[in-house]
């Protein structure tokens, strides 16, 4: 009788050890799956934030480019047409201040006056920076530059891997001439580790 009890006790202990081992394996597998899911969710969330950041910057560039041009028949519009930098003149708003909320919101200090704005890709900091020339003015020859302030500009998007600006004339033919350029195509790449996303957007000068 005692011998049977020892056998049963041994079998019970062995079953307990096996059960604990199986439980450990199952727990490890579950924790591994949870870890993978958490990492995937984190990457997705970071990419969503990056994409929102890039979309916001692209919309800002497009918005200001669409205001670009010159008053009357004075030369104006694009003043810089580089692959990684674009600058455009914005004529004064004839409706300001009567337009109130419907008028363009830039430059921030005086929304009604003419200004020039430049967007440039800074590879070192991986940012798109916005520079404003609010002290220049139009004359018969076009835009007379003032001072780009602040010199380094304000970062409007970060984690940027690459930016390419392409320019087209009124017929849709590629050009690098500021005086001939009428529209802009932007290709922005954002990268997180080995993952990358691309955004392509277009904008047209509506006041030229």
CB atoms within 10 A of CB 87: 22
**pLDDT the model gives residue 159:** 84
Q: In sequence order, what DSSP letters do the residues of the chain get, joined into one string?
A: -HHHHHHHHHHHHHHHHHHHHHHHHHHHHHHHHHHHHHHHHHHHHHHHHHHHHHHHHHHHHHHHHHT-B-STTS--SEEEE-SSEEEEEE---TTTTTTGGGS---STT-TTS-EEEEEEEETTTTEEEEEEE-S-EEETTEEE---EEEEEEEEEE-SEEEEEEEEE-TTS-B---TTT--EEEEEEEEEETTEEEEEEEEEE-SB-
Whole-model pTM?
0.77
**pLDDT the model gives residue 197:** 80
**pLDDT the model gives residue 6:** 53
139/123 Cα distance (integer angstroms) = 35
Q: Answer for the pair 126, 57: CB distance below 8 angstroms, yes or no.
A: no
Distances (CA, A) of 150 to 129, 131, 158, 169: 10, 6, 18, 31
Mean pLDDT by 10 residues, the chain (208 residues): 53 72 74 66 74 83 89 84 95 78 74 90 92 90 87 86 94 93 92 80 86
**pLDDT the model gives residue 24:** 74
């Amino acid at each position: 009788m005692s011998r049977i009890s020892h056998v049963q006790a041994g079998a019970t202990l062995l079953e307990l050890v096996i059960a604990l081992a199986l439980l450990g394996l199952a727990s490890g597998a579950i924790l591994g799956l949870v870890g993978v899911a958490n990492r995937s969710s984190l990457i997705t969330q970071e990419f969503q934030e990056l994409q929102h950041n890039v979309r916001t910057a692209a919309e800002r560039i497009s918005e200001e480019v669409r205001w670009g041009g010159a008053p009357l028949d004075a030369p104006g519009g694009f003043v810089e047409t580089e692959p990684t930098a674009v600058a455009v003149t914005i004529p004064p708003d004839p409706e300001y201040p009567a337009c109130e909320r419907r008028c363009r919101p830039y430059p921030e200090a005086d929304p009604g006056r003419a200004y020039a704005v430049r967007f440039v890709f800074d590879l070192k900091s991986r940012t798109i920076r916005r520079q404003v020339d609010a002290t220049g003015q139009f004359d018969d020859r076009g835009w007379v530059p003032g001072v780009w302030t602040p010199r380094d500009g304000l970062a409007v998007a970060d984690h940027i891997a690459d930016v390419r600006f392409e320019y087209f004339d009124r017929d849709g033919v590629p050009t690098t001439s500021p005086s001939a350029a009428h529209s802009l195509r932007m290709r922005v790449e954002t990268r997180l580790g080995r993952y990358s996303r691309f955004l392509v957007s277009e904008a047209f000068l509506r006041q030229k």
